[in-house]
Structure 1
Amino acid sequence: MDRHAIPILARVLANRHELAFTDLAGMTPRFAEIAGRMVGQNGSARTVWQEWLGEQTDAAAILQALVVVNVAAPAAEATVGPRLRTRKLSTITAKPVEYLRDGAFLKGAFQMLVGDPGLGKTRILLQALAAETRGRQWPYSSDSDGAAGEPGYVLYVGHEDSAERVIRPVVVDALGGDSSRFEIIDSLEVQTRKGPRDSMFTLSPEGLEALDAKMREVRPTLMVIDPIGGHLGGADSFKDSEVRERLMPLAHLADTYGTAIVGNSHMNKDQQKAVAYRVGGAIAFYAVARAVYYVATDPAEPTRRAFFHQKGNMAELREAMGFSIVGHYLNPELGSVGVPSWDTSPVEFTLEDALRAASEGPDAHQKRETAPQTVLRTILLSRGGRAPSEEVYSLAETMGVSRRSLERAKDGIGVTSHREGFGPGSTSYWCLPAYAPSAPKAAA
């Protein structure tokens, strides 16, 4: 007899009750299986077993009955529960981290563009989409359209700007994009009992399934969702778990198809929070994104913007770039549209400087000195309040301030210029307001 069966059978004989599952602990798998099947009998069969056990005094007879049950009883159907899907690292092939055309956005990743309203975020995204349809690098300076390569295919989701009045004129007529490689997702067709019905495209399970099919079909290289917070499909943008539930599948699609997916978002109004907590509502917007970019106003030059690469989980951060929104005349019928014009001057303020200045109001650039302004003031004070302009340029350059930035700083703190002498031998001087001559001569 199985030695593990003896104490179990002793309990049965002593207590005259059916076997309980707790009695099976410690038995060999063979005996546990036999006893378990007997205990598992239901209804009248279970009652018969109870009565029979109550009449037995021979442990060997009970064990023999259990063996009979094992032979006669049909095998229980196997139940399939939830299973983990796993991959061994040995089956995974490494892939390089790449920027799309060595530009700003990461291939195969979800990323965010953030900034206050009215700074030109949508316009620079439209410019990026237009450039991609022509195989050009983005962003690029106003002096060059960037090196052209194999054109890409782009998808755009957005309902705030008119396709006819904004998207088409900006992308095609102003920026020269290829309209045949630019596809706008207008809506999501849903099948109902009454037939197909159009609804707004969102990152709902149905929307993500349809997006997967579209991406499999066209293999987009760049996709923009503008604004990302308006396409969450009923998820609360301030609840981290709900936002993640929408963004994680989107990030998976970006990785699967090698697409750079960019979500556009306003900054929230809580100016006391750190930069990471000002992206939309929940921290998930910032956390799920593999890269986060910000657009902010130059504190010293309100018409100039800066494009900051603030977060980068997959690759090193790129340098900030400056740009302005300039008018581009199309024709008498369409008039002019605003497009980004990138400059080559260095961005000599930080994102935190820009956000702090913005929180202080539209005149913040007059209340707070920028780094170039401080450098200029220091140089002039060290020279008694005035100095030859060429000497100022030279000293500022050794301190990392460019000629153009110095000239902007000059206007920002009210520095005046005047020329002493006449002809080729004359010298141009820069003066702080308090040290300017009472009757300045012709300005340089």
Structure 2
Amino acid sequence: MLGMLGHTFVSFIDNIMVGQLGAAELAAVSLGNSFIFIAMSLGIGFSTAITPLVAEADSENNFDKGKSVFKHGLFLCTVLGLILFVCLLFAKPLMYVMDQPEQVVDLAIPYLDLVAFSLVPLIVFQAFKQFSDGLSLTKYPMYATIVANVLNVAINYVLIFGKFGCPEMGIVGAAVGTLVSRFVMVAYLWWLLAKRDKSKAYVTHIKFFSLSKQPIKKLTNLGLPSAMQMFFEVGIFTGAIWLSGTLGANAQAANQIALNLSSMTFMVATGLSVAAMIRVGNQKGLKDFVALRRIAESIFIVGFIFAVLFALLFVIFHKMLPTMYVDLDDPANAVDTMEVVSIAAILLLAAAVFQITDSLQVIALGALRGLQDVKIPTLITFVSYWVIGFPICYYLGKAEAYGSLGIWIGLIVGLSVAAILLFIRFHLLTKKLILKTSH
């Protein structure tokens, strides 16, 4: 959970620090990050293919199989990181045709350039992280993420506000902090894994370019649908950012605040989803499907308890939480600031509702990935978010309908449909496997 929280914590820190500069700057980081999150979702989604395969090899005590999965996974993630970086450079002109405030776009472009390049070390880090998770060594990626976050805060403070004689770079300073901290994160995680007996032989003496067709095919068959699942979900949230941009900079900044807070609670559920993937992958290797189902159901219950707690926090503190992101003492922007806070407070009540279904759908996806079942879940996520959820966002999110709240009603519906269908899929699949092995 802490390892996953680290990724969103970087943008949380960027948002809070940049929010002190004004609503336009916060909206610019929001717009830039909306592009980054789409690319990041493809990279992180693809890398999750490594975990169940390593977990299965680990429970079978098959070192060669595990090392092969890691090496080929690392190669594919590196290539994917470079491809996504190039795609983002070509996607930049889209900002000008997306009906976004011009001032926001001008601020977002130089920010996006640097953060786009930071995707390369981030996705390479993901390959190491997913491998480490597959060996049940989940502490080390967490340590690396904590170090990266501390470094990001320090660099942000110095470069955004121009401290200790450094130039005052504004939001570009935030981008530099993200880029440097992500390179350090990869190097530190490799160093940690190279020192451990259990992982040392895997991460040293890697013959990076001696590749085989079979592992690449297996990883791609698992990785691409997993990437698409994450892409469909992150895509609808990104669509929400763009739709809110058509309502003005204040609505967009409020949307960013509510999304950032709910994405942090979502990462707790994502951490449990990784736990489900590892433990289900282990039991699949041992062919113990009764224990597999019991373990997954236990994780569903833990996820449900966390989600209810977060929902209560959002309801109780919905008026107070948005004030962390803005400068209440700035008289020049006082009217805008109050509007941003009041919209964000309403959206946090909607976020409280979708905590529960969002949590259950991502944990169910993790359990299904552990079973290496990815094709039908990909179809379920597409239908839930884009055939059902997004049209509701679009229709209810117009200024003359419900505005920002309407966009979030669409999100709630899409997530709820996904949670129900994925839960049914896991239930039917495990029932079939238990019946098959008991006869």
Judge same fold: TM > 0.5, yes or no: no
TM-score, normalised to structure 1, is 0.25
Comparing both structures, which one devotes a greater share of its residues to helix? Answer: 2
Comparing both structures, which one devotes a greater share of its residues to strand? Answer: 1
Q: Quick one: higher RCO (CA 8 Å, sep 6+), 1 or 2? A: 2
Which of 1 and 2 has greater Rg? 1
